[in-house]
Chain A
Amino acid sequence: MTTQQQAPEQPLPPLGSVGFLRWLWRQLTSMRTALILLFLLAVVSIPGSILPQRGTNPLRVDQWIEENPATAPILDALGFFDVYASPWFAAVYLLLFISLIGCVLPRVGVHLRALRTPPPRAPRNLNRLPASGSFVSELTVDQVLTSAAGQLRQGHWRVRSSEGEWVAAEKGYWRETGNLVFHLSLILVLVGIAVGGLLGWRGNVVVREGTGFSNTLTQYDAWGAGRFVSADALAPFSFTLEDFRVDFERGEAQRGAPREFEADLTYRAAPGGEEVSTTVQVNEPLIASGAKVFLVGHGYAPHVIVRDSTGRVVFDDTVTFLPQDGNFTSTGVIKAPDAEPALGFNGLFLPTAALTEELGPHSVFPAPDYPGLFLSAFTGDMGLDDGSPQSVYTLDTSGMEQIGLESLLPGDVWTLPEGQGSIEFVDLERWASFQIAHDPGKELALGASLAAMIGLMVSLFVRRRRIWVRAQPADDGGTLVHVGALARSEGTDVESDVVDLMSRLGAPDVSQERAPQ
């Protein structure tokens, strides 16, 4: 450190902004800082796995906030429901990457120089090295050294010789190359993630059987995109959900667990284009004009017909019901604002209906073995007139009056009390939900991850080490040969290199010459 070189009696000169920045930079790029930042990164990742996150489950976040009114606002303000997009999480990983760049880039230069530099000269006393050995050869000094250099070159060592004295060799430069490739690739992974975040988009849509979807923003139930994405530029593909098949486990073990679901689609790359029939399954998305269409969920959509007091049909459609549990007890809302009077229904759809005192109406199996629709009917003002947008999944009953409860099986018609109309549960269809995503950065992220993995393996498995051979005439004729080696990376066993080279140079019974470990 620079400050330690100052004479103690002199007052320290003011560091100045440049000096301070240099000091800061040196601190940031030290291994110790990298280590602390790695620990910090592990720690700041934890809350996102414990608290619900907006990015993955916004509904549960709202629920959690409702249940914990005391702590939730503070946590929310600090970004605890969006940990991985929070400034403090970003601060940690950005500091880590700055530290990484500051550490790795200079090492690239150092390594490139090392690749051009011959191995260092042989130390005077090879016996002091961690592994060494010696023997008397019958060859001359020059013969021994030439033979050693030749053997080492054959073994892909980088060799430097001094005439008549020693041979130096080094091996394992790939270790540092791999290390640098690994760290530089991590930067590229981050770039890939950033590209995906800025140029990618992702949307969710629920499509009922027999209905279609076209890739425009208004058709999505939820849509999110990076900063540089123009919603007008979405590829104009479309598809229709022709049929959705689902199968559940009926055996004792894991009863009700899904066994198969697949969606038959007809797909068009562009309006007026050729229609293609295809099947989308969980692990088999549809690739559509650079985007991918994934099947992520499914549920039931009862078909109902609502008539008002005049007998006019005011609603005739399938209604998406959202599953609430593994047996697809589902909730949904039917709104007929144009009815006279306006009618609204809160509904509970049960694919295999059961009714108990304890649980009330609920479903006991996810397949539609005994489908039932429990409805609660309301009349009055459903709050649609003030223009504020309303969810199709909730009914604002604050200005409405409940007029009755009924349970229906397919084909049943419920005549509402006081001649206010009727509702018919015709039959049921299914819906499937799709996630449609476009991520232009994923290829880069994948390629960089693979490069990082290769670099990592090279850096961990290649061993860097140096070996030297000294030869001098022995007192009683022949040549005294010393071999010594030094590991330059941890866990490297250089003894085998010494033994190997000695036996190649013709040493008798090498095992006795082994240096103690």
Chain B
Amino acid sequence: MTSVQLAEASNAAVYASMITLTLAMVAFAVSFASGRRRVTVPSTPTGQQPGRRAANIGMSLTWLSFLLLLVGVVLRGVWAGRVPWGNMYEFSITAALGVLGVYLGMSIRRDLRWLGLFVVIPTLLWLGLAITVLYTEAAQLVPALKSYWLVIHVSAAIICFGAFTFAAATAGLALVRGRAERRAGSTEVMGWLSRVPDHERLERLTNTVIAFAFPLWTFAVVAGAIWAENAWGRYWGWDPKETWAFITWVIFAAYLHARSTAGWRGSRASWIVLAGWVSFLINYFGVNIFVNSLHSYSGM
């Protein structure tokens, strides 16, 4: 393939992935809308529940979308002749891949169809933003990025982004569901919230994901420090990117402490997860675009 064909193929794959994801979103939405009955949540065989078929279709479409996006990211890398992490468009499509990857990976061992809508919608918005606003033609890397640390540091950060996004979705749902449970009192939660697990299970799931993501984030920060030492002559310089990475780390550290502090375990811990995710987003958009940082590689 010529480079133009490669470029077109990569973009086509990303668009195809977005279309598939839109269909997945519709399927998940249909699943949510059909039936008011409360779903027993663990994967107990309770017969055909309303909306289950639509949710299954949504799940399959999400897998398809993930594979298409993977093709898009790989072709982008082949086109550029390097890892596809040279500018913000490339970071963003890979981050979307990370979010879908973490969701699908988690769903292998547990039934997460109820979460589909809440992962697919933000991912779709994210991809739309990437391909319209952040789109950049592929070019070579700036010298500062020519290092194997790019692969190590950035891949860890991207997986963390996927996991933190997943955790933010479950933490947000835990807050909404928890409030509905308090309102409902002893009666059953009605409406769409009846279709997500109770807030305790959501909080446990959030905790599981953070317990996986926090060490990985620690690794991403340490790997970044090692790289910075090698490229700039200091391992920590309070560059805005480093500062916000540190803030994110501290917030999730606070979350882990909150989980073992009386009075902080429930909804407050969920709020901390959302705060940590916001700080990650500030680091991604704010620092890349608005702040004068050594990490301004957006290519925009």
B34 within 8 A of A: no
Q: Does B121 contact A (CB under 8 A)?
A: no
| Contact between chains at B287 and A259 (CB < 8 Å) | no
Partner of B233 from the list A259, A435, A517 (CB cut-off 8 Å) is A435
B215 adjacent to A460 (CB under 8 Å): yes
Q: What interface size band does chain B fall in?
A: 35 or more
**Residues in chain A near residue B225, CB distance under 8 A:** 449
Contact: B238 with A282, CB < 8 Å? no
When chains A and B are docked, how far (Å) is the Cα of A437 from the Cα of B226? 15
CA distance A281 to B137 in the complex (A): 26
Q: Which of B99-107, B161-169, B203-211 contacts the other chain?
A: B203-211
How many A-B residue contacts, CB cutoff 8 Å?
Answer: 137
Quick check: A283 and B144 within 8 Å, CB to CB?
yes
**Distance to closest chain A CB from B142 (angstroms):** 5
Counting CB contacts under 8 A, is A450 at the interface? yes
Would you call B247 and A42 a contact (CB within 8 A)?
yes
User: Taking the complex as formed, is A514 at the interface, i.e. its CB lies under 8 A from any CB of chain B?
Assistant: no
From residue B227, how far is it (CB to closest CB) to chain A in Å? 8
Which residues of chain B from 217 to 232 have any CB-CB distance to chain A below 8 Å in the complex? 218-219, 222, 225-227, 229-232
- Beta-carbon contact of B237 and A45 below 8 Å: no
Q: A38-B250, A490-B259 are in contact. Are A282 and B139 (CB under 8 A)?
A: no
**Contact present for A49 and B259 (CB under 8 Å):** no
A434-490 interface (Cβ within 8 A of B): 435-437, 439, 442, 445-446, 449-450, 452-453, 456-457, 460-461, 490
With A254-B299, A261-B143 known to touch, is A456 a contact of B237 (CB < 8 Å)?
no
Q: Does B214 contact A (CB under 8 A)?
A: yes
Query: CB of B284 within 8 A of chain A?
Result: no
Report Cα–Cα, A284/B232, bound state, in Å: 10
Would you call A45 and B143 a contact (CB within 8 A)? no
Decide yes or no whether B246 CB sits under 8 A from chain A: yes
Q: Contact mask B153-175 → A, CB, 8 Å, 1/0?
A: 00000000000000000000000
B222 touches A282 (CB 8 A): no
- Decide yes or no: A34 and B257 within 8 Å by CB, A294-B233, A491-B211 being known contacts: yes
Q: What's the Cα separation between A439 and B239 when bound, in Å?
A: 18
Q: Is the CB of B238 within 8 A of A249?
A: no
Are A457's CB and B259's CB within 8 A?
no
Are A460 and B211 closer than 8 Å at their CB atoms? yes
Known contacts A41-B250, A294-B231, A490-B207, A53 near B140 by CB under 8 Å:
no
Cβ–Cβ contact A282 & B231, under 8 A:
yes
Knowing A46-B247, A260-B143, the reply to whether A285 touches B233 (Cβ < 8 A) is yes
With A292-B233, A294-B231, A453-B218 given, is the CB distance from A49 to B287 under 8 Å?
yes
Q: How far is the CB of B171 from chain A (nearest CB, A)?
A: 15
Check if B136 is an interface residue, CB within 8 A of chain A.
yes
Partner of B215, one of A39, A252, A294, A453: A453
Closest chain A residue to B80, Cβ basis: A253
Query: Once the chains are docked, how many angstroms separate the CA of A32 from the CA of B239?
Result: 30
CB-based contact B243/A491 at 8 Å: no
How does the 8 Å CB contact mask read for B238-275 relative to A, with 1 for contact and 0 for none? 11100110110011011001111100100000000000
Q: Which residues of A contact B279 (CB under 8 A)?
A: 42
Cβ of B234 under 8 Å from chain A: yes
Contact across chains for A39 and B214 when beta carbons are under 8 A apart: no
Contact A38 B257 (CB under 8 A): yes
- In the complex, are the beta carbons of B231 and A457 less than 8 A apart? no
A53 → chain B closest CB, angstroms:
6
Chain A window 264-294, contacts with chain B (Cβ cutoff 8 Å), 1 for yes, 0 for no: 0000000000000000011111000000101
In the docked arrangement, what's the CA distance between A284 and B149, Å?
12
Docked CA distance A460–B261 (Å): 16
Q: Which residue of B lies closest to A261 (CB)?
A: B143
The reply to whether the CB of A55 lies closer than 8 angstroms to some CB of chain B is yes
Distance to closest chain B CB from A441 (angstroms): 10
Other-chain contact of A453, B146, B219, B240, B292 (Cβ < 8 Å): B219
Within residues 59 to 75 of chain A, which ones have a CB less than 8 A from any CB in chain B?
A: 60
- Are A282's CB and B137's CB within 8 A? no
- Say whether A490 contacts B247, CB under 8 Å: no
Assess whether A38 is in contact with B139, with CB atoms less than 8 Å apart. no
Query: Which residues from A are CB-within-8-Å of B257?
Result: 31, 34-35, 38
13 contacts between A and B (CB under 8 A): A41-B250, A42-B247, A45-B250, A46-B243, A49-B238, A49-B244, A56-B239, A254-B299, A257-B299, A259-B142, A453-B218, A453-B219, A490-B260
A35-B261, A292-B233 provided; 7 other pairs, C-beta below 8 A?
A: A38-B254, A38-B257, A49-B291, A57-B292, A252-B137, A284-B230, A460-B211
Partner-B contacts on A (CB < 8 A): 31-32, 34-35, 38-39, 41-42, 45-46, 48-50, 53, 55-57, 60, 83-84, 193, 202, 249, 251-254, 257-261, 281-285, 292, 294, 296, 435-437, 439, 442, 445-446, 449-450, 452-453, 456-457, 460-461, 490-491, 517
The 4 closest A-B pairs by CB, nearest first: A253-B137, A38-B254, A294-B233, A253-B139
